[in-house]
């Protein structure tokens, strides 16, 4: 697999002309890689792409992957940022979500990680039906006490055909309750603001200097290249996704072909995505950029769709950008879809 990933990097080097400023080792379980394997991939990228002097290099990991020896080894690698899927510091929550780690592993992994890494992001889940407001605050307080500079926090989503979905349908577990989820979200906003985190994207909170550069690029519509099975790519005109099946991926790469499907995006597709991602961030949607790239008729259409939200004060228009007020973030998905363009 590592050999195939290296080969794909070579096959696709002409697809990225801009300087590479971020490298992201995403899940599956990239923390299974040895230090020399991580460094080899980074060095391969650096030898065939224009890589910045100090790129942000993130690795995703779960607490049960992060033993003392693993973290010490990662500290010797080129990785300079960890994204750790803690989800909760309480066993009841972790059992409900069917996580492989327990609360002790969660705390221990974070205590070990902060000894070797300054730039750490933690994932936390809210909206669990049994999670009291007090327990949710306690989860956040534990994070603050650890000195974690970045939090990615998401509402619980019950995916079809998962163990959680089965347990809810069978009556073993309670289903999430929207009103409680919204209360948790407001607590999250209040407590992170109190501790000097900036909610720079609806689900992401970072102190100054610790925003995720990789995800920020994605939200701002910057081109990116995805390598490996299931990886997604975007070049401004096309969205592509590699085959998910490992055997098919390996076979195609062995033959010197890229196992990718591509979709040509219409102007409406690109603008709709810019609306969806932009309204979730503090940078908003650039109407000037839409006009420059596609013409003023598209900007006029977006403003017409946004008119009722502007009149109600839910959206703001400032310096050529359309913003969603933070107090309305919980409604972002519905508002964004209401602004989506049909064919103009």
**Is the Cα dihedral 131, 159, 155, 337 positive or negative?**
negative
pLDDT (0 to 100) of residue 280: 95
Residue 205 sits at φ, ψ, to 5 deg, of: -130, 120
pLDDT (0 to 100) of residue 177: 86
Alpha helices in the chain (DSSP H): 2-11, 35-48, 68-75, 91-96, 103-116, 133-146, 163-169, 178-194, 213-219, 246-254, 267-278, 287-294, 296-311, 332-339
Report the DSSP beta bridge partners of residue 240. Answer: 233, 262
Segments making up each domain of the chain, as ranges: 19-218, 267-339
Q: What CATH number does domain 267-339 carry, 1.10.10, 3.30.1370, 3.40.50, 3.40.630?
A: 1.10.10
Topology classification of domain 19-218: Transcription Regulator spoIIAA (3.30.750)
Nearest to 186 by CA among 146, 259, 239, 126: 126
| pTM exceeds 0.85 for this model | yes
pLDDT (0 to 100) of residue 344: 44
pLDDT (0 to 100) of residue 342: 62
Find tokens 């607590």 and name the residue: 187
Digitized pLDDT (tens) for each residue of the chain, 344 residues in all: 999 999 999 999 999 989 999 999 997 788 888 999 999 999 999 999 999 999 999 999 999 999 999 999 999 999 999 999 999 999 999 999 989 999 999 999 999 999 999 999 999 999 999 999 999 999 999 999 999 999 999 999 888 878 887 888 888 888 888 899 999 999 999 999 999 999 999 999 999 999 999 999 999 999 999 999 999 999 999 999 999 999 999 999 999 999 999 999 999 999 999 999 999 999 999 999 999 999 999 999 999 999 999 999 999 999 999 999 988 998 888 999 899 976 44
Nearest to 8 by CA among 262, 257, 261, 263: 257
Question: What tokens does 2 get?
Answer: 């590592």
Q: What is the DSSP annotation of 101-121?
A: S-HHHHHHHHHHHHHH-S-EE
Question: What tokens does 14 get?
Answer: 């002409």
């Amino acid at each position: 697999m590592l050999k195939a990933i290296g080969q794909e990097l070579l096959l696709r080097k002409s697809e990225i002309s801009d300087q590479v400023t971020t490298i992201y080792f995403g899940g599956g379980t990239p923390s299974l890689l040895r230090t020399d394997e991580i460094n080899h991939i980074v060095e391969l990228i650096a030898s065939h792409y224009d890589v910045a002097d100090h790129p942000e290099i993130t690795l995703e990991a779960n607490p049960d992957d992060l033993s003392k020896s693993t973290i010490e080894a990662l500290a010797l690698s080129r990785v300079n940022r960890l994204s750790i899927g803690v989800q909760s510091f309480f066993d009841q929550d972790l059992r409900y979500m069917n996580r492989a780690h327990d609360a002790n592993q969660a705390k221990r992994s974070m205590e070990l990680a902060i000894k070797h890494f300054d730039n750490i992001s933690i994932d936390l889940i809210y909206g669990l039906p049994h999670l009291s407001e007090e327990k949710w605050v306690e989860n956040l307080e534990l994070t603050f006490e650890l000195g974690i500079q970045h939090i990615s926090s998401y509402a619980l989503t019950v995916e079809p055909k998962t163990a959680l979905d089965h347990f809810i349908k069978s009556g073993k577990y309670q289903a999430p309750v929207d009103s409680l989820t919204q209360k948790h979200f407001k607590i999250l906003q209040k407590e992170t603001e109190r501790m000097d985190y900036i909610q720079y994207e609806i689900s992401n909170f970072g102190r100054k200097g610790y925003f995720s550069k990789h995800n920020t690029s994605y939200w701002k519509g910057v081109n990116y290249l995805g390598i490996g099975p299931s990886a997604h790519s975007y070049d401004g005109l096309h969205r592509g996704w590699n085959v998910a099946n490992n055997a098919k991926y390996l076979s195609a790469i062995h033959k010197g072909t890229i196992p990718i499907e591509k979709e040509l995006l219409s102007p409406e597709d690109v603008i709709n995505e810019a609306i969806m991602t932009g309204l979730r961030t503090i940078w908003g949607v650039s109407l000037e950029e839409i006009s420059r790239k596609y013409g003023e008729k598209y900007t006029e259409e977006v403003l017409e769709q946004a008119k009722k939200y502007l009149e109600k004060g839910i959206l703001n228009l400032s310096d050529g950008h359309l913003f969603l007020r933070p107090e309305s973030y919980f409604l972002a998905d519905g508002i964004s879809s209401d602004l989506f363009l049909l064919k103009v």
